[in-house]
Amino acid sequence: MPVWVILADDLEPADAREIERLVPATPSSYHRLNPLTKAVIAAVGSIGAFVAGGYIGPIVFDLVMLLLAVRAGVLGQLVRASLLLTAPIAISVVLVSVFTRAGTTVLFAIGPFDATAEGVDFAAQTLVRLFAISLSIGLFVMTTHPRAFVFDLERRGASPRVAFVALATIEAVPALVERAAVIGESQRARGLDTEGNLRARLRGLLPLIGPVIIGALTDVEERSLALESRAFSRPGRRHLLWTMRDTRWERLLRWGLMALLGAITLARISGRI
């Protein structure tokens, strides 16, 4: 049995081997960290970069996340996803900040708009923060299986219902994407134009939203009935088949990171950074 997985303690050896095969793959030592530890790293990375402000703090968080991504073997994937996710916000932040922020040093002008050095500085600071937030959350998502996270929360005392709802919400995203693709194809087969320029795409998107949402709601109603017939509403705790192991040093690490975040926040409030 891998040391990073805890199987239910009353299983026969043959059962244990079977359950072990169902545990999501953990290809790197970072993947094998307890999900709560990775969640805390993501939270501290995001909030810490936001609170710290300036350049040094967010850049340090950027670098730490990139190093952890190297360790997890997801560097390329993470950088691509983060750039894609932050690009739309980054473009608007740069345009708004550079051309509308008041400043004394005008770098150049486009029509009535002056690009100021202060605006460039503000945009750059925002971008490094955004990138840190995106890297932190992306790293967590790419290295943590939703089931592992939710089972860990349940093991720590979260209600099975809350855990189920959290997991169902995360797992519903790919299902919704699949449903949207099917509805999109059937609408296109009936002549709806969903390709071409941006305006045509947006026009084509609107008729898809209704069926996707209504269909999802109908599914939820039937799924809730099916779950009721599987004792979902029974009160009390469940015996989980497997969870991810937690260690003493990981607990220490989490407390240390929380203390670091607290220190950054205090320093920021007191004006030391």
Partner 1 sequence: MLGLHGISYRYAGYAEPVLHEINLTLADGEIVGVVGANDAGKSTLCLVASGLAPGSIGGGLSGRLTIDGSDMAGRPLHEFSTRVGIAFQNPATQLSGVSGSVFEEVALGPMNLGLPARETVARTRAALTTLGIEDLREREPRHLSGGQAQLVVLASLLAMRPAHLVLDEPTAQLDPEGTRLVGEALRALAATGTGMLITEHKTDLLNRLCSRVVVIDAGRIVLDGPTAAVLADGRMEQWGVEPPSPIRLARALEARGLDPGLVAGALQ
List of residues 6+ apart from 47 with CB closer than 8 A: 261
Q: Site for partner 1 (CB under 8 A): how many residues?
A: 44
Q: Can residue 229 be called a binding residue for partner 1 (CB under 8 A)? A: yes
Task: Return the residue of 112, 157, 236, 271 that touches partner 1, per CB under 8 A.
Answer: 236
Which of residues 202, 213, 214, 226 is near partner 1 by CB under 8 A? 226
Contact criterion met (CB below 8 Å) for 74 and 142: yes
Q: Indicate if the alpha-carbon torsion angle 185, 187, 188, 193 is positive or negative.
A: negative
CB atoms within 10 A of CB 29: 11
Residue type present at position 237: R
Residue 233 within binding range of partner 1, rule CB under 8 A:
yes
- C-alpha to C-alpha distance for 261 and 265, rounded to whole angstroms: 6
**Which residue in the set 87, 214, 225, 259 belongs to the binding site for partner 1 (CB under 8 A)?**
225
Of the listed pieces 47-55, 66-74, 88-96, 168-176, which binds partner 1 according to CB under 8 A? 168-176
Out of 31, 38, 129, 147, which residue is the one contacting partner 1 (CB under 8 A)?
Answer: 147
From 159, 146, 167, select the one nearest 234 (Cα to Cα).
159
d(CA 79, CA 85): 10
Q: Write out the binding residues for partner 1, residues 47-76 only, by CB under 8 A.
A: none
Q: Which tokens in the block code for residue 16?
A: 């244990």
Stretch that binds partner 1, among 98-106, 135-143, 163-171, 260-268 (CB under 8 A): 163-171
Binders in 10-39 for partner 1, by CB under 8 A: 10-12, 15, 18-19, 21-22, 24
Do residues 135 and 45 make contact, with C-beta atoms less than 8 angstroms apart? Answer: yes
Binding-site ranges for partner 1 (CB under 8 A):
7-12, 15, 18-19, 21-22, 24, 145, 147, 150, 160, 164, 167-168, 171-172, 174-175, 218-219, 222-234, 236-241
